[in-house]
């Protein structure tokens, strides 16, 4: 039995939680490989430092060291502390070099912002050693995680990672040691760290599980599992006991932050079950995500929302009869690696849903088309996409009517609808200022209410 266990920021964020994490690892049967995020707050701190026009490197290193040393001092003493400090000091030297590196390097921010994981992994590995376990802290480079793609938004090269991890991590397992691997990034072709986007350690966990063909991937976090909505905006959410890969992937892609949007695919590829568990309540069964699941009662399983989006509408006479032109538009947008969350067309318009941050370079791309046939481009910013996932949502008669009826009661306007792309989800766009009330209303009516499971 081989389990890949990923622990998030709050799980490794304090001496007490690090001890709980170590106990969870030790009490897990069989071989285990651990992947960690940075301690909570650390990545935000590093993003701020990397983004600022004038970094005070000395100050950043001091604050960063102090935060990690305070945790280490609460956990280790004597010889243990001495052994820890030797490795810690070496990592601080290399962190300083990274921080003082070439800010014009396109991967500079990736290198700086992924530094937190190198320290949380080191601390956790020493906690395990202090409990008499054999453990090795591995950076993504030392573990063999390879990445590809654009700065701050990479993806794993699964083939190369597969070959390399098996060479580097398997022998450690065979010696009975527990590898603790940095999440959030892999090494690109230039030998530089390339991050997987914020929250990317979940994806790292899935990539490691894929490469080692693990029996299970566990995502340990600060909530009871995959819930029926984001507990930060809906107070009375319900834990989902079981979901299939498609449902979890769809919700994660459309805003359920509990899993990084790309987490499911590497696990699904090798049929690896994913379990979402609460570090602070390990006895709770959590959520099991796998191929099949039993039928559920009730209309909705979960509601998620992707915020800070914009709709770009391109008008051109009879565009529906000119697929080549639509193809050219999409090609132009794709050149900048912009994610399109939804597309809808009418006789004379085609509309794209994308992130607010992608609007300007998408408009530049569209202008470079120099297509005299384009009559008008309209941008509507600050909208959100609501994603409803439930059993055969689109097969049941009248479901969309019920859902839009509830949305109407909120008094909001539905700007764009996309249903049918996946048989289990119904997505639509509302203005940002009504997204919270829309999610709450749908949850109250279809998850907790008389049409729901309770």
Helix (H) or strand (E) holding 314: strand 302-315
302 binds, among ligand ADP, ligand ASP, Mg ion, none (CB under 5 to 8 A by kind): ligand ADP
Piece of 104-112, 221-229, 334-342, 347-355 that binds ligand ADP (CB under 6 A): 221-229
* 9-48 footprint of ligand ADP as x/- string (CB under 6 A): xxx-------------------------x-----------
Q: Which of 99, 90, 16, 4 is nearest to 279 (CA)?
A: 16
Q: Please report, to the nearest 10 degrees, the dihedral formed by the alpha carbons of residues 279, 285, 287, 290 taken in order.
A: 120
CB of 344 to ligand ADP, least distance (A): 26
How many of the other CB atoms lie within 10 Å of CB of 355?
16
Q: How far is CA 40 from CA 10, 17, 237, 281, in A?
A: 5, 11, 24, 18
Piece of 49-57, 200-208, 250-258, 416-424 that binds ligand ASP (CB under 6 A): 200-208
Backbone angles phi, psi at 7, to 5 degrees: -115, 130
Token digits of residue 70: 């305070």
Q: 204, 145 in Cβ contact below 8 A?
A: yes
Q: Write out the E strands in 79-215.
A: 135-138, 147-150, 153-156, 178-182, 185-187, 193-195
Whose Cβ is closer to ligand ADP: residue 107's or residue 226's? 226
Would you count residue 310 as binding ligand ASP (CB under 6 A)? no
Q: How far apart are the first and last CA of the chain?
A: 36
Piece of 81-89, 252-260, 382-390, 410-418 that binds ligand ADP (CB under 6 A): 252-260
Give the CB-nearest residue to ligand ASP: 201
Backbone angles phi, psi at 110, to 5 degrees: -60, -45
Piece of 126-134, 198-206, 239-247, 310-318 that binds ligand ASP (CB under 6 A): 198-206
Helix (H) or strand (E) holding 379: strand 376-389
* 189-218 footprint of Mg ion as x/- string (CB under 5 A): ----------x-------------------
Would you count residue 199 as binding ligand ASP (CB under 6 A)? yes
CB of 225 to ligand ASP, least distance (A): 17
The single residue among 3, 4, 5, 9 that binds ligand ASP, judged by CB under 6 A, is: 9
Q: Write out the E strands in 317-420.
A: 342-345, 349-355, 376-389, 416-419
The single residue among 155, 184, 245, 254 that binds ligand ASP, judged by CB under 6 A, is: 184
Backbone angles phi, psi at 217, to 5 degrees: -110, 125
The single residue among 13, 200, 225, 266 that binds ligand ASP, judged by CB under 6 A, is: 200
The single residue among 4, 249, 256, 300 that binds ligand ADP, judged by CB under 6 A, is: 256
Piece of 35-43, 222-230, 306-314, 422-430 that binds ligand ASP (CB under 6 A): 35-43
Return the CA Rg of the chain: 23
**Contacts to Mg ion by CB under 5 A:** 8, 199
Binding positions for ligand ASP, rule: CB under 6 A: 8-9, 37-38, 43, 116, 183-184, 198-202
């Amino acid at each position: 039995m081989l389990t890949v266990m990923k622990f998030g920021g709050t799980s490794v964020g304090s001496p007490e939680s690090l001890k709980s994490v170590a106990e969870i690892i030790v009490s897990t049967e069989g071989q285990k490989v651990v992947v960690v995020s940075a301690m909570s707050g650390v990545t935000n701190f590093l993003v701020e430092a990397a983004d600022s026009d004038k970094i005070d490197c000395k100050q950043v290193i001091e604050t960063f060291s102090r935060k990690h040393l305070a945790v280490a001092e609460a956990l280790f003493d004597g010889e243990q502390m001495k052994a820890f400090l030797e490795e810690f000091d070496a990592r601080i030297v290399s962190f300083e070099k990274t921080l003082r590196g070439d800010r014009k390097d396109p991967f500079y921010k990736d290198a700086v912002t992924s530094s937190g994981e190198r320290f949380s992994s080191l601390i956790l590995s020493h906690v395990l050693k202090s409990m008499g376990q054999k453990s090795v802290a591995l950076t993504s480079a030392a573990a063999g995680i390879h990445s590809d793609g654009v700065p701050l938004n990479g993806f794993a090269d699964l083939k190369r990672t597969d070959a390399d991890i098996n060479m580097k991590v398997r022998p450690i397992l065979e010696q009975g040691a527990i590898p603790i691997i940095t999440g959030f990034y892999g090494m690109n072709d230039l030998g530089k760290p390339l991050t997987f986007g914020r929250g990317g350690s979940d994806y790292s966990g899935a990539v490691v599980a894929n490469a080692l063909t693990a029996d299970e991937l566990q995502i340990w976090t600060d909530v009871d599992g995959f819930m029926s909505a984001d507990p930060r905006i809906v107070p009375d959410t319900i834990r989902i006991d079981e979901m299939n890969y498609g449902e979890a992937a769809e919700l994660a892609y459309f805003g359920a932050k509990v899993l990084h949007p790309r987490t499911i695919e590497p696990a699904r590829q090798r049929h690896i079950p994913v379990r979402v568990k609460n570090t602070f309540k390990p006895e709770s069964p959590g959520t099991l995500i796998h191929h099949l699941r039993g039928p559920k009662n009730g209309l909705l399983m979960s509601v998620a929302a992707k915020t800070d989006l914009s709709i770009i509408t391109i008008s051109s006479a009879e565009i529906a009869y000119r697929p080549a032109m639509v193809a050219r538009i999409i090609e132009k947008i794709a050149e900048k690696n912009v994610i399109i969350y939804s597309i809808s067309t009418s006789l004379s318009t085609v509309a794209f849903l994308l992130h607010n941050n992608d609007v300007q370079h998408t408009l530049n791309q569209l202008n470079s088309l120099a297509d005299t046939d384009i009559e008008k481009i309209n941008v509507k910013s600050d909208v959100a996409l609501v994603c409803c996932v439930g059993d055969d949502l689109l097969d049941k008669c009248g479901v969309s009517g019920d859902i839009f009826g509830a949305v109407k009661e909120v008094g909001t306007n539905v700007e764009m609808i996309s249903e049918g792309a996946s048989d289990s989800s119904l997505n639509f766009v509302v203005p940002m200022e009504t997204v919270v009330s829309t999610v709450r209303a749908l949850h109250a009516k279809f998850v907790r209410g008389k049409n729901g499971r309770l």
